[in-house]
Amino acid sequence: MTEHHDHRDDCPFKFATLDVCDCVEKNMLDRIEALETKLATCETKLATCEKYRDAYAEMGRIGTQAVRDLEAKLAECEARLGKAAKELEWQSSQPEAHPFMAQHARATLAEIKGESHE
């Protein structure tokens, strides 16, 4: 190691030895301060990323539950419509009944299930 070092621009001891000035210490303190600033920035960004990660996970959970709820409601609707179609078939056998109602109920049920009603 040489006895001379890189001095700061504001150092009055440009050509002094290490034991005369504190440029090395100031340079190290400046570097530590810069690293602490970067660390704080990284921690802030990490906290933001974690917040978004948690929000996306919650949205996924809510979306999954919404799909399950809708599937349950659809199954209930299919069951009710199937029951209604059977009741309408029975009613269509009566003299005053309208047979197209049972056909319409069966066609609607088939459409919901993605089947052919013909």
Give, for 42, the enclosing helix (H) or strand (E): helix 23-92
CB atoms within 10 A of CB 5: 14
The confidence score (pLDDT) of residue 80 equals 82
**pLDDT tens for each residue of 62-108:** 999 999 999 998 888 888 888 887 777 766 666 566 666 667 777 77
CB atoms within 10 A of CB 105: 20
Each domain of the chain, given as residue ranges in start order, spans 23-113
**pLDDT tens for each residue of 4-15:** 556 667 776 666
The confidence score (pLDDT) of residue 2 equals 47
Question: The whole model's pTM is what?
Answer: 0.47
